[in-house]
Amino acid sequence: MNTNTATVPRHLGLILDGNRRWAKEHGLPIYEGHKAGYRNMEAILDAAMDRGVECVSVYAFSTENWSRSADEVKQLMRLFLWIFKHELGNLKRHGVRVQVIGNKVRLGKALLKAIHTAEVETKGNTRGTLLFCLDYGGQQEIVEAMKQLVASGVDASELTVERITEQMQSEGVPPADLIIRTSGEQRLSNFMLWQAAYSEFMFTPTKWPDFSVAELNSMLDTYAQRHRRFGK
C-alpha cells in the first residue's frame, strides 16, 4: 500500500449516513443501526490511521438532528455516553487522541464529563486524532468564530483567513483533504464548511454500517491519483 504522506489525506472527513435505513432493512430498531455504525467506525478509523491519515472527523450528530424523535435523540445520547466512558480504554490502547467539537450546550452533564475525561486522558496520544463532531454545524462554527473576533475588538480590516481559522473550534486541525459520504446522498449537510474549501469529495450508495475497509482503501487509492491544484 502507498503510504506516502503526499498521497494520503492528512484529514479525512466522514459523513456517516445510512444507519437508520440499514436498521430498517434488517428489521432492527433504529438504535441497533447506530450501534452497528459505531462498531464500523472503529474499524474504519483503525484502517485510515494504518494508511497514514492523521485526523478522522466524524459527523456524529448535527445541530439539525435535535429535530428527530425524542426517543431516538435519547438513545443516541446514551450511545455517545457509552462510547466516551466504555470505549475510552480501547481508544487509548490504539494511541488515538479524542477531540470533540460542537455546541455542547444541550448535552447532559454526564456526557460532558465523559467527553472532558476522554479529551484529557488521550491528549498525549500521537497515532492520530478522532475529531468527534457532536451537536455540530459548519455554519454555526463560522458564526461563533466571528462573534468571538468581534467581541475581542478585531477590526474588519484585520480579518484574514488565518485569523478566522484560529478562532474555529477545529483550530489546529488541518483542512479536510477528503470527505466521504455514505448512503447515496451527495451534499455536505452543514459539515466542515470552512475546512472543506479545497476538499476532494467521494460518495457511495453503501450504507454506513456496511462501508468496508476495502471500499475505504479503494477511495484512498483514488484520492492518491488526483492532482490537487488549489486554484493554481
Point out the residues of the chain with pLDDT beneath 70: 1-6, 229, 231-232
Active site residue 17: yes
Q: Which residues contact 22 (CB under 8 A, 6 or more apart)?
A: 33, 36, 37, 207, 208, 209, 210
Task: State the residue for C-alpha cell 425524542.
Answer: 70
Query: What is the spatial order of strands in the sheet that 55-62 belongs to?
Result: 96-101, 128-136, 55-62, 11-15, 178-181, 200-203
What pLDDT score was predicted for residue 3?
Answer: 43
- Out of 50, 65, 103, 125, the active site residue is 65
What pLDDT score was predicted for residue 125?
Answer: 96
What pLDDT score was predicted for residue 227?
Answer: 75
| CA pair distance 181, 216, nearest whole angstrom | 11
pLDDT digits (tens, 9 = 90+) for 87-120: 999 999 999 999 999 998 899 999 999 999 999 9
| CA pair distance 159, 33, nearest whole angstrom | 44
| CA pair distance 190, 1, nearest whole angstrom | 33
Task: State the residue for C-alpha cell 468581534.
Answer: 150
What pLDDT score was predicted for residue 164?
Answer: 95
What pLDDT score was predicted for residue 6?
Answer: 63
What pLDDT score was predicted for residue 232?
Answer: 64
